[in-house]
């Protein structure tokens, strides 16, 4: 679904934000495609934990999946929009505090594991496919308004 992330980057850029992509080495090819199509700055595979922590201090918003960097952003006071697929808020691993949003599809098959799964046990990955760019973008706009208030 890199085309969706690219579309979100384009919308955030239109909103006056500069999208910056972070992630691990395994995400490099995907990140390069998103950066190219979404006009984003690609730092995937180029930041260690200290650099990521430093970067958090300069962010206005952090869009992420259910991950360690999500918690780092929330702890750093950065508004977080978290896209949950296989995991759920009910497991307790969501960004705590005000100014954060979780975007997720309401499906009976979720959660499919404590930490999610790379492969969908049901074979459809609807948990991610049903989350729309519009939903995530609206959550981003809400988080940005909340932060500015």
Provide the residue ranges of all domains of the chain, joining segments of one domain with +. Answer: 1-47, 58-149
CA distances from 119 to 38, 112, 128 (A): 26, 10, 12
d(CA 85, CA 77): 23
Instruction: Please write the tens of the pLDDT for every residue from 71-116.
Output: 999 999 999 999 998 888 777 778 888 889 999 998 888 888 766 6
Is residue 18 within 8 Å of 9, Cβ to Cβ? no
What is the structure's pLDDT at 38? 80
Residue 94: predicted pLDDT: 86
Whether 144 shows a pLDDT value over 70: the answer reads yes
Element (H, E) at 11: helix 2-14
Helix (H, G, I), strand (E, B) or coil at 123: coil
Q: Which residues contact 12 (CB under 8 A, 6 or more apart)?
A: 19, 61, 63, 137, 140
32-50 mean pLDDT: 91
Q: What is the pLDDT of residue 116?
A: 67
State how far the Cα of 143 lies from the Cα of 82, in Å rounded to an integer: 11
Bridge partners of residue 105, in order along the sequence: none
124 and 137 Cβ atoms separated by less than 8 Å:
no
The predicted pLDDT at position 60 comes to 92
Quote the percentage of the chain above a pLDDT of 90: 58
Reported confidence tier of residue 147, pLDDT bands at 50, 70, 90: low
Tell me the whole-structure pTM to 2 decimals: 0.88
pLDDT at 64 over 80: yes
Polymer length in residues for the chain? 149
Please report which confidence band the pLDDT of residue 39 belongs to, taking 50, 70 and 90 as the band edges: confident
Check whether 148 has a pLDDT greater than 60.
no
Q: How far apart are CA 120 and CA 128, in angstroms?
A: 10
């Amino acid at each position: 679904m890199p085309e969706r992330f690219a579309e979100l980057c384009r919308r955030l850029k239109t909103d006056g934000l500069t999208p910056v992509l972070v992630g691990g080495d395994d995400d490099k090819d995907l990140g390069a495609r998103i950066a190219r199509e979404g006009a984003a700055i690609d730092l995937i595979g180029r930041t260690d934990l200290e650099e990521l922590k430093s970067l958090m201090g300069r962010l206005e918003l952090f869009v992420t999946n259910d991950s360690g960097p999500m918690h780092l952003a929330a702890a750093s006071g950065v508004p977080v929009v978290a896209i949950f697929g296989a995991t759920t808020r009910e497991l307790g691993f969501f960004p705590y505090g005000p100014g954060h949003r979780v975007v997720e599809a309401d499906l009976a098959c979720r959660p499919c594991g404590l930490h999610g799964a790379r492969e969908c046990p049901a074979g459809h990955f609807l948990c991610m496919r049903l989350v729309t760019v519009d939903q995530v973008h609206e959550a981003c706009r809400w988080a940005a308004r909340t932060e500015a208030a």
